[in-house]
Amino acid sequence: MSLRKLLSVTLGNTSLLPIPFVLSSSWDLCAVNDLDAARKALKDHFYPVGLLLLNNIHTAGVVEVDAMLEGHQSVQWVGVFPAEMIKLPEYRALSVQHLFDFHTWPIDPFRLNHTLGHAYGFAELNGPAPEAANGGKRDMGLVGQSAAIQHLRKQIAKVAHASAPVLIWGESGSGKELTAHAIHNHSARAQGPFIAVNCGSIPANLIQSELFGYERGAFTGATKDKRGLIESAAGGTLFLDEIGDLPMELQANLLRFLQERTINRIGSSRSIEVDVRVIAASHTRLADAVRADRFREDLLYRLNVLPLTVPALRERKDDLDPLVEHFFKAFAHERNPRLTGFSNRAMLAIKAHDWPGNVRELINRIRRAMVMAEGRLITPEDLDLQVPNALRNGDALDEARIRAERDAIHFSLQGNGRNITRAARDLGVSRMTLYRLMEKHGISP
């Protein structure tokens, strides 16, 4: 059986008992003695469980510890404090908001190993975020397991190994740039630059100089040579977002580059060869733009060698649960410290909404709610969403039961200082049953 990874962070005078001799042989221990070393260890490796040993830490020190724990909420932390210090407000707040459980000095080896084992079990139930577990390679940074998103992953894997241009279509906010990043990161050019250009955000009188660069003296203000964005992407990928907004005169220059793989800076007759892969994206159908004489047909053929379509969020509603959880964790540093998750009413509202703004709208609503929510759970009102008026037969009763179960778990955990054992006893269930219920309702320890 492989060893379980554990990070031990010792702060202050904690020589009361040497930790390595207290732990069972099943732990792969990394011991550090300051917060900087702890942050580095957490950056370099994923630790499901952390042991925090504090003694004689002043109030300012507790604030620093709180900030470190706030930034690493995926770790299940177990604290060890002096008995008299746990009575202080700073330590109590630290325990309630960030710790799986806590002990007081002197350490009881049996109890500590027992607690750490439970913390590790809960970490396995929660599971690390895909990015932490595998560097985002398996999921390509695309959250969800719906049929639509799995099909997109397969398409990305196929086109990533080619060198031909890719044209991505998708509604605004659906994740076209994320898809382009995934193609680049899984290609042979992954170590090269990824240069993103929004063709609609650069003024028309500047876009040529931005893309192709210029020579000194080419125009007033050109005091030195400047490489354009195409040159800057050499050896990597050039992502042209909203390619349909590119002026017609620039489309001809881009077509010439795609055909000859060379560019000319403004003010120069010298051709520069550039090795770059082009990925373009648009939220409008370029075939319609061609018929309206707003886009060159020959450029469309050059770009549309490998077409991809990014599904709208309403076409992948099965992914809403993992997306909500992902963004709640991703923006945890912005949230109200008391916030623990989403109410069942909020999830009903999320699933009933059509999401015209796609994933971008979902992110914006979640981030706003995480800052503005005043309770422990985000409500539909925090998200500025409506709960559907007409629930199917039995749904209202089911919702009430689920909400009552979730509230009972929250109140019990809060009343017992987040101590799992005492909360389970008060609820009349086993620890493992409580773990399963907490996972079901998305409740953190």
d(CA 232, CA 228): 6
Residues of the chain with CATH 3.40.50.2300: 4-128
Local confidence band at 281 (pLDDT 50, 70, 90 cut-offs): very high
Structure tokens at 103: 């002990």
- Mean pLDDT of all residues in 43-61: 78
pLDDT for residue 21:
57
Residues of the chain with CATH 1.10.8.60: 317-441
d(CA 142, CA 136): 8
Local confidence band at 118 (pLDDT 50, 70, 90 cut-offs): confident
Percent of the chain with pLDDT over 90: 34
d(CA 246, CA 255): 12
d(CA 31, CA 18): 11
Q: Where are the alpha helices (DSSP H) in 175-264?
A: 176-185, 207-212, 229-232, 248-260
Single pTM value for the model: 0.60
Above 50 in pLDDT, residue 427?
A: yes
Identity of the amino acid at 275: D
Tens of pLDDT along 223-277? 788 888 999 999 999 999 999 999 888 899 899 999 999 988 888 888 889 999 9
Residues of the chain with CATH 3.40.50.300: 147-310
- Mean pLDDT of all residues in 435-439: 81
pLDDT for residue 186:
93
Above 70 in pLDDT, residue 160?
A: yes
Higher pLDDT pick, 276 / 215? 276
Please state, as a whole number, how many other Cβ atoms lie within 10 Å of the Cβ of residue 356: 12
- Mean pLDDT of all residues in 88-105: 82
pLDDT for residue 240:
95
Q: How far is CA 250 from the centre of its chain?
A: 36
d(CA 362, CA 72): 23
Distances (CA, A) of 109 to 56, 119, 203, 208, 295: 21, 15, 67, 69, 72
Please state, as a whole number, how many other Cβ atoms lie within 10 Å of the Cβ of residue 441: 20
Q: Residue 51: helix, strand or coil by DSSP?
A: strand
pLDDT for residue 121:
82
CA neighbor of 136 nearest in space, from 332, 363, 326, 370: 326
- Mean pLDDT of all residues in 428-443: 79
Cα angle value 224/230/233 (rounded, 5°): 105
Above 70 in pLDDT, residue 130?
A: no
Q: What is the DSSP letter of 310?
A: P
Was domain 147-310 assigned CATH 3.40.50.300? yes
The CATH T-level fold of domain 317-441 is: Helicase, Ruva Protein; domain 3 (1.10.8)
Above 50 in pLDDT, residue 136?
A: no
Per DSSP, the chain holds a count of helices (H) and strands (E) of 19, 14
Q: What is the DSSP letter of 94?
A: H
312 neighbors 174 (Cβ within 8 angstroms): yes
Residue 278's DSSP bridge partners are 238
As its CATH architecture, domain 4-128 has 3-Layer(aba) Sandwich (3.40)
